[in-house]
Structure 1
Amino acid sequence: MRGPRTKLAERLLGPQNRHLWFWIFVGPFVLGLTLFTYVPLAWSVYLSFFDAHNTVSPTDFVGFGNYTAMLGDDAFTDSLVTFLVFTAFIVPATYMLSLALALMVNRLRWAQAFFRSVFFLPVACSYVVAALIWKMSIFNGVRFGLANTVLDWFGADQIAWLSTTEPPWYWLVIVTVRLWLQTGFYMVLFLAGLQRIPPRLYEAAAVDGARPGWQVFRHITFPQLRATSVAVVLLLVINAFQAFDEFYNLLSDSRGYPPYARPPLVYLYYTALGQGQNLGLGSAGAVILALIIAVVTVVQARWFGLGRKED
């Protein structure tokens, strides 16, 4: 005999209430995503067509005037060039380093979980904190910091890492902090891909006389990592476009941001929230940047054959 609690549970969990429970669990996420992502995004697109100085409720419609002004601004195009330089190095460097670490950890027979955790640990650190550690402890000024201390041990001249433009040592600081922060995450992705490769492929290669090492990696391991490689490259390019925290916290000071190494998001930050507070122009730049990211992502997906059925 079923009690009242059993009948109540059957009514609540019955087929007619599936949609209710779906929205109970998914609804808060959808609401938060709408309020904090899609509404600001739509409002930014709206502002990009108005003269919005110091206001988020503009009335002067300018059409595509903000887009024309942004594309004709040398500072904005220079920031895009800065991004291309940054991306051209950070994407392949992170890819190769994370893949190398994944191959190394995957070959370990003991303490694999320990080393996986050690390499992944920097991912938990925020970009702001990591940038401040690099700026204040490792590459701090001319007389202080770990890097200049090591140079002093070897009798080399000390370097103003973040203010020297010839040669541009600040790129070394920016690239190393980005590598330290994100390599562990992509290493875990590659490690998951390596552990999904069927062992029988390596056994068949050994029977056929394939040499361990480069030959096996080239003909078996790397082709089997194709899907993981596509995802890693896509994420790396998108993250490079969104570079802001490490640039701003490493290079800015009480006088503001220097004229060099200014990525698009830093430029848009000063355009929209700086002294002029031109929210319309900044929103137009943000829309242009979003369109560039979308185009690059689609081109990459088509080039890599993402979503295409394999033979």
Structure 2
Amino acid sequence: MRGRWRARGRRGTRGTREAFVRGLLGPQNRHLWFWIFVGPFVLGLTLFTYVPLAWSVYLSFFDAHNTVSPTDFVGFDNYAAMLGDDAFTGSLVTFLVFTAFIVPATYALSLALALMVNRLRWAQAFFRSVFFLPVACSYVVAALIWKMSIFNGVRFGLANTVLDWFGADQIAWLSTTDPPWYWLVIVTVRLWLQAGFYMVLFLAGLQRISPRLYEAAAVDGARPGWQVFRHITFPQLRATSVAVVLLLVINAFQAFDEFYNLLSDSRGYPPYARPPLVYLYYTALGQGQNLGLGSAGAVILALIIAVVTVVQARWFGLGRKED
């Protein structure tokens, strides 16, 4: 009797295993190629993204000086230390200032470019490609070009050459804090790098607007230009605008390359204009190498990004059915 039950158990286990494999591969192994192509990317995403993220959360609860395998559990002390650190809260203020500059500037420029390109009757693909091309440029390379060619020092650089033509005083763009001219350098390089990407998003939104709306507006006597844009084009771009603003805010939180490569030198990073990621970089990988504090700051920053994204999505009604 026991032998029969064991045989049935083995057959049941084997049948369950075979059913799982059939479900995984699909009928006639149709899912096999899906796993062949997607499997390596899923494995890489797990190993190089999700595992480090989980380990970072783990480190945030430990005293991790110069080690990634700590044993001294400190609970929420790292989080309290980060929230009570004036340098960290100051980096969040830097982010707010950067967001106040870059979000409206990028939104307005990318929308203006999209409107101009969309109205072109010839060479539209050429100009779309020209404006989109900077997106393919590395942030590091663009920052170095801005720093060494356009806003280089006091006596050199394109910007100071132009000022000299008009008889104006030359400016140390990256070291002058009163007024803070470095914001002009940081914002313009980010604006040049990302405006083309959001222009393409707005172009896609513009091409989804039915021409019948403009025809009906013309019949009703709407004037082409600002009146049509205000009452037809802009309302129809609501979903695209919400997505663009959300992406711009999230990308502003993640700003690092342009700040670090523009403002740091052989003496280190200056005490001003430190966004959160630059501060966390020096906390976790600087002289102290406090990976516990750095991980706690990264978790706090991730939570802030998540909360801000959810609040913005609910405020703008993202995902809500339009009337």
- Residues 194-237 of structure 1: CA deviation (Å, up to 9, x unaligned): 01111111111111111101111111111111111111001000
**Kept after mapping to 1: 8 A contact 2:66/2:289:** yes
Question: 1:192 offset after TM fit, Å?
Answer: 1.0
Paired residue for 1:256, among 239, 250, 268? Answer: 268
- Residues 274-305 of structure 1: CA deviation (Å, up to 9, x unaligned): 00000000000000000000000000100111
Deviates more, 1:202-211 or 1:61-70: 202-211
Structure 1 residues 5 and 39, CA gap change in structure 2 (3 angstroms): closer
Structure 1 residues 144 and 222, CA gap change in structure 2 (3 angstroms): same
- Residues 228-283 of structure 1: CA deviation (Å, up to 9, x unaligned): 11110010000000000000000000000000000000000000000000000000
Q: Which residue of 2 aligns with 1:91?
A: 103
Question: 1:112 offset after TM fit, Å?
Answer: 0.7
Question: 1:307 offset after TM fit, Å?
Answer: 1.1
**Kept after mapping to 1: 8 A contact 2:95/2:275:** yes
Question: 1:7 offset after TM fit, Å?
Answer: 23
Structure 2: which 5+ runs fail to align? 1-13
Structure 1 residues 275 and 222, CA gap change in structure 2 (3 angstroms): same
Structure 1 residues 204 and 271, CA gap change in structure 2 (3 angstroms): same
- Residues 126-145 of structure 1: CA deviation (Å, up to 9, x unaligned): 10000000000000001110
Residues paired across the two proteins, number: 310
Structure 1 residues 9 and 101, CA gap change in structure 2 (3 angstroms): same
Once residues 9 and 52 of structure 1 are traced to their aligned partners in structure 2, the CA distance between those partners, rounded to angstroms, is 43
Structure 1 residues 79 and 11, CA gap change in structure 2 (3 angstroms): closer
Question: 1:11 offset after TM fit, Å?
Answer: 15
Once residues 125 and 44 of structure 2 are traced to their aligned partners in structure 1, the CA distance between those partners, rounded to angstroms, is 35
**Kept after mapping to 1: 8 A contact 2:24/2:31:** no
What TM-score, normalized by structure 1, do the two folds share?
0.95
Q: Which residue of 2 aligns with 1:105?
A: 117
Once residues 26 and 177 of structure 1 are traced to their aligned partners in structure 2, the CA distance between those partners, rounded to angstroms, is 35
What TM-score, normalized by structure 2, do the two folds share?
0.91
Once residues 190 and 143 of structure 2 are traced to their aligned partners in structure 1, the CA distance between those partners, rounded to angstroms, is 9
Question: 1:6 offset after TM fit, Å?
Answer: 25
Identity over aligned pairs, percent: 95
Once residues 61 and 84 of structure 1 are traced to their aligned partners in structure 2, the CA distance between those partners, rounded to angstroms, is 33
Deviates more, 1:21-30 or 1:274-283: 21-30
Question: 1:19 offset after TM fit, Å?
Answer: 3.1
**Kept after mapping to 1: 8 A contact 2:144/2:262:** yes
Once residues 20 and 321 of structure 2 are traced to their aligned partners in structure 1, the CA distance between those partners, rounded to angstroms, is 47
Question: 1:20 offset after TM fit, Å?
Answer: 2.4
**Kept after mapping to 1: 8 A contact 2:60/2:295:** yes
**Kept after mapping to 1: 8 A contact 2:60/2:293:** yes
Structure 1 residues 9 and 66, CA gap change in structure 2 (3 angstroms): closer
Q: Which residue of 2 aligns with 1:203?
A: 215
SS of equivalent residue, structure 1 residue 3 = helix
Structure 1 residues 273 and 7, CA gap change in structure 2 (3 angstroms): closer
Question: 1:21 offset after TM fit, Å?
Answer: 2.6
Question: 1:28 offset after TM fit, Å?
Answer: 1.2
Structure 1 residues 183 and 11, CA gap change in structure 2 (3 angstroms): closer
Once residues 154 and 100 of structure 2 are traced to their aligned partners in structure 1, the CA distance between those partners, rounded to angstroms, is 29
Structure 1 residues 9 and 260, CA gap change in structure 2 (3 angstroms): closer
Structure 1 residues 268 and 212, CA gap change in structure 2 (3 angstroms): same
Structure 1 residues 163 and 19, CA gap change in structure 2 (3 angstroms): same
**Kept after mapping to 1: 8 A contact 2:25/2:32:** no
- Residues 64-105 of structure 1: CA deviation (Å, up to 9, x unaligned): 000000000000000000000100111011001100110011
Note the aligned Cα RMSD (angstroms).
4.2
Structure 1 residues 75 and 216, CA gap change in structure 2 (3 angstroms): same
Question: 1:16 offset after TM fit, Å?
Answer: 3.3
Query: Which structure has the larger Rg?
Result: 2
Structure 1 residues 73 and 14, CA gap change in structure 2 (3 angstroms): closer
**Kept after mapping to 1: 8 A contact 2:151/2:173:** yes
Structure 1 residues 306 and 6, CA gap change in structure 2 (3 angstroms): closer
Structure 1 residues 261 and 14, CA gap change in structure 2 (3 angstroms): closer
- Residues 35-76 of structure 1: CA deviation (Å, up to 9, x unaligned): 111000000000000000000000000000000000000000
Structure 1 residues 6 and 255, CA gap change in structure 2 (3 angstroms): closer
Structure 1 residues 37 and 10, CA gap change in structure 2 (3 angstroms): closer
SS of equivalent residue, structure 2 residue 31 = helix
